[in-house]
Amino acid sequence: MRRSGTGAKLISVPYVVWAALFIIAPLFFVVYYSFTNAAGQFTLDNIHLLTKYIPTFLRSIWFGIVATLICLLIAFPTAYIISQKSDKIQRTMILLVMLPMWMSFLIRTYSWMAILQDTGLINSFLVKIGIDPVHMINTGGAVILGMVYNFLPYMIMPIYSVMAKLDFSMVEAAQDLGSNRINVIRRCIIPMSIPGVISGITMVFVPSVSTFYISQKLGGGSFDLIGDVIERQFQQSYNYNLGASLSLVLMILILLSMAVMNHFSDEGEMVI
Amino acid sequence: MKKITAVILSALIIVLFPFNFAFAAGDAEIEALRGTKLYVYNWGEYISDGEDGTPDVNALFEEKYGIKVVYDTFDNNESMYSKLKSGGVSYDIVIPSDYMIARMIKEGMLEKINFDNIPNYKYIPEKYRNLDYDPTGEYSVPYTVSYVGLIYNTKMVEEAPDSWAALWDERYTNNILMFNNQRDAFAIAQSLLGMDYNMESEYAWRTAAALLKEQKTVNPVYVNDEVFLKMESGEAALAPYYVGDFLTMYENNNDLAFVYPKEGVNYFVDAVCILKGAKHKRAAELYIDFLSDPEIALANAEYICYGSPNSAVYENPDYEYYQDELLYPEEGAFKTQLFRNLSPETLALMSTLWDDVKNYTPSGFSNRSLFFGDETASSGSAEGEAMTKQTVKYAIYIGIFLLLCLAYIIFRYARKKYRERV
């Protein structure tokens, strides 16, 4: 027993060191910078300045919510359909879901710019078949499209992995007790896949709220998301303190929403 | 047989001796640098790199001196500065722009160059030496000189523009690009207002910011490198950018044209500097000298398409842009201004104002304007109103969403209670 105990401890050492160096220490710096000024003295100025960015925060959160909901609407049926197929087809379909991720996120977003722009692929096709071109690039819709496109696999994967392991005898039991197809999905499949849905929502919402590249390229930089502001404080303005306090607030907001989400997942067994 | 060998050998020694001597005397130090590494931090696409049969400057340098060049790139002065300042990196050579050099000199980030080791400095004429940013000329060797100007698509504009005001022209709404870079963006507004780019008055910066906010009515797209894609594909009608890059774009789209707006433009110099703490200062000086070598400088000038401060390049009739009227305009043909380093307070003010500009949403119906007449449009209250409208809009959206969630939770809870009772 003793030996296996120390063994387990030893095994955890690499991760503990990793977490201390790359998670705890940076978090400490974020908090430190948030409450100091450029000279390193304690100040609350950065926190006062934040009120100016409330509209930006609200916009980012709203965009994040919309992108997450759209992802959920697309991913749930997709994951369900994939999980119903034979093993071989499942493997191929999952490969197809993951395929775009073999390419750099930056390149994929950049190419959406070429697809959506006024002289881009879609619009030149529309013009060719005699329809008026639609202005798509540099709008909020384009940014949300970029988010959905980039983060969709993060929603499909967790939902699929829960559904693939689903105990199918439950479904059979429900059918035996006279459930029709809709009730099977509503009362069996959805409640049982809640854990996957919750982690999917987390994995889409967090990067959507904090993204900056997508909004810069597809939004044309004419409105900021909070990630843009944070990036600019570090990259251009050299104002680490304001950047850190913005990040801190963003982190707290995300943690809060995660806490709410986790509350949901605890009630996962509750009938929907 | 032996005799002949001896004769040949001695002849060889006699012939080679002077060379040997020369090498041994001056270059023992250089020889000792063989196998060391030189860390270079430069702008992207800012050196001839062997693409399309152009000479690979870094490889040539490595071949000549046996010093390995470790080459990294940055895409704007501020991010370069942030990266160096954060201390996570150490480079020997860096190529910032004028005002950033001034700031780095002031903050003691640069090392003085020993010009005895830069014989090719003789090709840099007086007019490019000891400029404002490095008044004693001890810290930098000019690498490129160029101007900002207005690029336009002749197919998309009704008449050729000659003023920065074209970027505020409502006829080109949605087709205007703008610098996504504080200093360059402000410079355009400052030119229009007839202001100095380097003033320290808060009121002046606020006025320039108000003009930039006003530009939001034409819905400009803020770009960095995307300007190439957007201008070459005919996506946008107007864009302010660097003249050297215009030449590159023009090669891909002949509908484009370039003009130096009458209000004046930013003139900039990018220069090679040695960073404090450079491990091999002598190697860095070799590199700087190598970059100023006529042939190497020519290769770079033709690759980058920016103006060269090297007289051996711009006086060379074989140079692709020899006496090019855009790259080397007549002196005094239009107003130019250099950027200078600003005080930390002004830099902070500029950053905050830029955040305001980016987040500003015009109320939609305001055609009145600060620059083109009426001065009331950009007053504080209108601005505040637009901000509140935005806030309220998204707050309502999120509020409705949260209410729906809450309603659902209450509904489930009530149903659960009800079922338990039944």
The answer to whether residue B68 scores a pLDDT higher than 50 is yes
Q: Which of A238, A263, A264 to mutate: most B Cβ within 10 Å? A: A238
CB contacts, 8 Å: A232 with chain B: 351, 354-355
Helices (H), ranges, B133-259: 182-192, 202-214, 226-232, 243-252
Q: Over pLDDT 90: what percentage of chain B?
A: 66
Cβ within 8 Å, pair A236-B219: no
- H/E segment holding residue B239: strand B238-242
The pLDDT of B65-93, averaged and rounded, is 89
For the ranges A217-226, B61-70, B184-193, which has the lowest average pLDDT? A217-226
- HSE-up (13 A, CA, CB side) for residue B386: 20
Q: Who's near A160: CB < 8 A, 6+ residues apart?
A: A78, A79, A82, A83, A94, A97, A196
Residue B365 pLDDT class (50, 70, 90 cuts): very low
The pLDDT of B291-301, averaged and rounded, is 94
The pLDDT of A27-50, averaged and rounded, is 89
Could you read off the pLDDT of A127-153 as tens digits, one per residue?
Answer: 999 988 888 888 899 999 999 999 999
Closest C-alpha to A70, from A149, A188, A168: A149
Q: What are phi and psi of B180, to 5 degrees?
A: -100, 55
What distance in Å separates residue A58's CA from the closest CA in chain B?
6
Strand B37-43 and strand B93-94: the pairing is parallel
The pLDDT of B376-401, averaged and rounded, is 68
CB-defined contacts A:B, below 8 A: 103
Cβ within 8 Å, pair A65-B398: yes
Chain A CA closest to residue B85: A238
Could you read off the pLDDT of A176-227 as tens digits, one per residue?
Answer: 988 888 888 888 888 888 889 999 999 999 999 999 999 999 988 888 899 9
Question: Which of helix, strand or coil describes residue B338?
Answer: coil
Cβ within 8 Å, pair B361-A217: no
The answer to whether residue A39 scores a pLDDT higher than 70 is yes
What distance in Å separates residue A223's CA from the closest CA in chain B?
6
Chain A CA closest to residue B350: A237
What Rg do the C-alpha atoms of chain A give, in angstroms? 23
Residue B368 pLDDT: 38
Residue A9 pLDDT class (50, 70, 90 cuts): confident
Residue B332 pLDDT: 85
Say yes or no: A231 contacts chain B, CB-CB below 8 A.
no
Residue B9 pLDDT: 53
Say yes or no: A118 contacts chain B, CB-CB below 8 A.
yes
Q: Which of A222, A226, A272 to mutate: most B Cβ within 10 Å? A: A222
Rounded to whole angstroms, how far apart are CA atoms B96 and B346?
20
Within 10 angstroms of residue B155's Cβ, the number of other Cβ atoms is 10
Residue A7 pLDDT: 78
- The residues facing B149 across adjacent strands are B241
Residue A92 pLDDT class (50, 70, 90 cuts): very high
Rounded to whole angstroms, how far apart are CA atoms A14 and A8?
11
Say yes or no: A229 contacts chain B, CB-CB below 8 A.
yes
Rounded to whole angstroms, how far apart are CA atoms B122 and A239?
40
CB contacts, 8 Å: B348 with chain A: 237, 239
Residue B5 pLDDT class (50, 70, 90 cuts): low
Within 10 angstroms of residue B399's Cβ, the number of other Cβ atoms is 12
Residue A6 pLDDT: 75
- The residues facing B147 across adjacent strands are B267
The pLDDT of B108-115, averaged and rounded, is 94
Residue B38 pLDDT class (50, 70, 90 cuts): very high
Residue A51 pLDDT: 86
Mean pLDDT for all residues in chain A: 88
Rounded to whole angstroms, how far apart are CA atoms A95 and A107?
20
CB contacts, 8 Å: A61 with chain B: 394, 398
- Tell me which of B306 and B13 has the higher pLDDT: B306
CB contacts, 8 Å: A118 with chain B: 174, 235
Mean pLDDT for all residues in chain B: 86
Cβ within 8 Å, pair B230-A117: yes
Residue B32 pLDDT: 87
Write out the two tokens for A113: 């710019």
> ipTM score here?
0.83
Contact B337/B192 with Cβ under 8 angstroms?
Answer: no
What distance in Å separates residue B310's CA from the closest CA in chain A?
31
Closest C-alpha to A250, from A237, A231, A263, A235: A231
Kindly indicate whether the domain formed by A53-269 is annotated with CATH number 1.10.645.10: no
The pLDDT of B87-112, averaged and rounded, is 92
CB contacts, 8 Å: B397 with chain A: 62
The answer to whether residue B379 scores a pLDDT higher than 50 is no
Residue A187 pLDDT: 84
Cβ within 8 Å, pair A238-B85: yes
Q: Which of A237, A245, A256 to mutate: most B Cβ within 10 Å? A: A237
Residue B89 pLDDT class (50, 70, 90 cuts): confident
Q: Who's near B46: CB < 8 A, 6+ residues apart?
A: B73, B95, B144, B270, B304
Residue B177 pLDDT: 95
Residue B375 pLDDT class (50, 70, 90 cuts): very low
Cβ within 8 Å, pair B416-A237: no
The answer to whether residue B377 scores a pLDDT higher than 70 is no
Look up the pTM and report it.
0.84
- The residues facing B221 across adjacent strands are B177
Residue B4 pLDDT class (50, 70, 90 cuts): low
Rounded to whole angstroms, how far apart are CA atoms B145 and B267?
7
Tell me the torsion sign for CA atoms A116, A121, A127, A131: negative
What distance in Å separates residue B111's CA from the closest CA in chain A?
22
Cβ within 8 Å, pair B390-A61: no
Residue B7 pLDDT class (50, 70, 90 cuts): low
Cβ within 8 Å, pair B359-A224: yes
Q: Over pLDDT 70: what percentage of chain A?
A: 95
Could you read off the pLDDT of B143-180 as tens digits, one per residue?
Answer: 999 999 999 999 999 999 999 999 999 999 989 999 99
- Tell me which of B383 and A101 has the higher pLDDT: A101
CB contacts, 8 Å: A119 with chain B: 233-235
Q: Over pLDDT 90: what percentage of chain A?
A: 53
The answer to whether residue B86 scores a pLDDT higher than 60 is yes
